[in-house]
Structure 1
Amino acid sequence: MIGWAGIGSMGVRMLRRLLDNGIPVTGYNRTAGRLPAHPLFHAAHTPADIAEKSDLIFLMVTDGSASRALLEGPDGIARGLRPGSLVINMSTIAPEEAQEEALSLLAKGAGYLDVPVSGSLVPAEKGELLLLAGGDGAALERARPILLHFGKKILHFGPTGSGMKAKLVINLLLASHVESLVQTVLVGESLGLDGHQVLGMILDSPLATPFYQIKRANLEKRSYDKAFSARLMAKDLDLLSLTLLRNRTPASLPFELGRHFRELVESGRGEEDVSALYEYFRDRILRK
C-alpha cells in the first residue's frame, strides 16, 4: 500500500496520478475537504495510520515545519512506521532538515529519500514533472516504479539533502527568469513601447523560452492565477540564502531576489503567481 500525506494543490494532482493508474493509496490531509473522492483512496485519521498501512510513504507539504509535524507529531508517521518502510519527501525543505529527518527515521529502521519536483500544476496533472532525488541509490530504485507516475525523468544528485539543494538551485533560475521578463517588459513600457509588442518581440527572438510563453497571458491580462505562488518562491529563496550562508558561499543574487519576492508577499500578493512580480516593479518603474 502507498501512503500519502499532504493533499494540497500539487499533492492532489500527483496523488490522482496514482489512483487513476489503479494504485490504492491511504492518505491524510489536515483539511478534510481536499480528500479525493475515488474508490481506491482510503482516508486515514492520523499520519500514524498511514505508516501502519504503508511501505512507501510520500510527503508533499509546504515547508519544513509541516513536514516535521507529520513525521514527529503526537500521532505522527514515526509512531506507526513498519521496519523497512521508505519515506519519500517531495516537499521543498532545507537540505539540513532533510538530513535530520533521514537520521531520525533511520533510528526507527526506515529509509528516506528527498525527491522534490521541478514543475507546477499542469505538469503535475500530466505526469511531466522533473524529479530531483537525494539519498540511497538502492532505495531510489525501489521507489522508481511509483515515482515514474509523476515524471519521466529522475535525476539522482547524491546523498540525502542533494535533491533539496538541486530544487533550491533550479528555483533560483526560475526566479531570475521571472524577474528578467517582467523588468524587460516594464523598461520597454517606461520608454513608451507597447507592453504586448515587447512580449511578442521577446517570444519571437532567440531568447524565447517555453516558460516565457506560459507567463505571457498573465502579464497581458495582469491576472495572476497561481501556478507557483509568490509566497512559496520567497520561502525557497530564503532557504537557499540560509544554505549558502551556512556553506559560507558568497552569492548576492538569491538574497536580492528573495527580498523582492518577500516584499511582494508583504504587499498582499503572496497567493498569486510568481509573475505578479510585474506589479511589484511596476510601482517602482512606471510610478516615479
Structure 2
Amino acid sequence: MIGVAGCGRMGGPMLVALQAAGFNAQGYDVRQVPYPRCTTDIPTIRSKLETLITVVRDIAQTEEVLFGAQNFSQAPNLRRIIICSTLSPRYVKSLSARVSPAVCLIDAPMSGAQIAAEQASLSFMLGGDASDLDAAQPLFDAMGKHFHRMGSFGMGMQAKVLNNLLAASNTAMTRLVLDWAETAGLDEGKLLGLIETSSGQNWFASGFETIEFSRDGMDAENTIGILVKDVDSALDAAPSDADLSLPKSVQAAIRALKPKI
C-alpha cells in the first residue's frame, strides 16, 4: 500500500491522482480532510504501508511523520520513502543515517502549485539511485508531467530550493511591479499580457490568474509563508562564502506582502 502523509493543498490532489491511476493509495493527515481514503488513524496506515510519500509542511512535521508520533519509518512492511516536502537539503541528506538501509530513500520535491497537483502535471526534481528512481517512476507518472533526475539522494532537494529561491524572487518582484502599475494607472491584464511576451516573462506572472496564492498576503499557514520557509531552506544549503544579502532581501519582501485585491 502507498501512503501519502499530509493531504493538504498538494498532498490531497496527489493522493487522488494515484488512486485515479489505479494504485492502492491511502492518505494520512492529522486533520479530517475532504479526500477519499484519507484517515487520521495511524495504525490503519502503518500496518499496510510499503511506500510512504511525505507531503507535509516542514522539518518538524517530517520528524513527526518519520520518527515521532506517527513513526512511519518503523512500519513493518515499509520498503520505500519518497520525500516530496521542500526541506533543507542538509536535513534530507541526514536521513540516510537515520532510516534503515532496507528502506529505499528518494527525494522528490515538486513544483507547479496546487493547480498542477490537481491536473496531475507536477514537475518533480528527483534524487536517488537510478534503479530506485526507475522503480518509482510509475508513481511519478501518475502525479506529474515533468521529471528531472538531479543525481544522488538529496540532489533533488538541492535543486528544488534553488528553484524556489528564483520563484520567491519572481513572486516578490512581480507583485511589486503590479503594485507600481496600479499606482500609475496601468491596466493589470494588459501589463500581464505584455510581460508574457517580453523580457520580464516569468512563471508567476504567466500564471497570475490561475496560481491560487498569487494575490495572497503573508500568512504563516499559506503558500506565501511556505515560500519564506523555502528561502530559509536555500539559505541553510548556501555555500559557506556566499553573499546572502540578495536572498535575504527577497525573503524580507515576500514576508512583507499584503493581500492584493
- Measured against the shorter chain, the TM-score band is 0.7 to 0.9
1:40-88 alpha-carbon deviations (Å, 9 max, x no partner): x373621x653431221111000011011100014411222436x0100
Superposed CA RMSD in Å reads: 2.7
CA distance in 1, matches of 2:191, 2:98: 52
User: Would you say 1:176 and 2:198 are equivalent positions?
Assistant: no
Give ranges in structure 2 of 5+ residues lacking alignment.
none
Distance change >3 Å, CA 182–CA 223, structure 1 → 2: closer
CA distance in 2, matches of 1:239, 1:210: 21
1:22-45 alpha-carbon deviations (Å, 9 max, x no partner): 2221321100x21523xxx37362
| Residues 174 and 204 in structure 2, CA contact (< 8 A), matched pair in contact too | no
CA distance in 1, matches of 2:243, 2:165: 15
| Aligned twin of 1:104 | 98
**Aligned partner (choices 62, 68, 71) of residue 73 of structure 1:** 68
| Aligned twin of 2:122 | 129
User: Would you say 1:29 and 2:55 are equivalent positions?
Assistant: no
Q: Aligned AA for 2:16? A: R
**Aligned partner (choices 218, 242, 248) of residue 249 of structure 1:** 242
What's the TM-score once normalised by structure 2's chain length? 0.86
Q: Aligned AA for 2:54? A: L
CA distance in 1, matches of 2:49, 2:203: 38
| Aligned twin of 1:12 | 12
Distance change >3 Å, CA 125–CA 166, structure 1 → 2: same
| Residues 27 and 38 in structure 2, CA contact (< 8 A), matched pair in contact too | yes
| Residues 114 and 163 in structure 1, CA contact (< 8 A), matched pair in contact too | yes
Whichever structure has more helix as a proportion of its residues is 1
Q: Aligned AA for 2:104? A: G
C-alpha displacement of 1:16: 0.2
| Residues 186 and 195 in structure 1, CA contact (< 8 A), matched pair in contact too | no
Distance change >3 Å, CA 16–CA 217, structure 1 → 2: closer
Distance change >3 Å, CA 53–CA 232, structure 1 → 2: same
User: Which stretches of structure 1, 4 residues or more, deviate above 4 A after TM superposition?
Assistant: none
CA distance in 2, matches of 1:42, 1:119: 23
Identity across aligned pairs (percent)? 25
C-alpha displacement of 1:2: 1.2
CA distance in 2, matches of 1:99, 1:210: 29
1:248-270 alpha-carbon deviations (Å, 9 max, x no partner): 32343211111222334xxxx6x
Larger Rg: 1
CA distance in 2, matches of 1:255, 1:223: 22
| Aligned twin of 1:87 | 81
Give ranges in structure 1 of 5+ residues lacking alignment.
270-275, 280-288
CA distance in 2, matches of 1:185, 1:27: 39
Matches within 5 A, 1:1-288: 1-31=1-31, 33-34=32-33, 36-37=35-36, 41=37, 43=39, 45-46=41-42, 49-82=44-77, 85-107=79-101, 109-190=102-183, 192-196=184-188, 197-209=190-202, 211-215=204-208, 223-224=215-216, 229-244=223-238, 247-264=240-257, 276=259
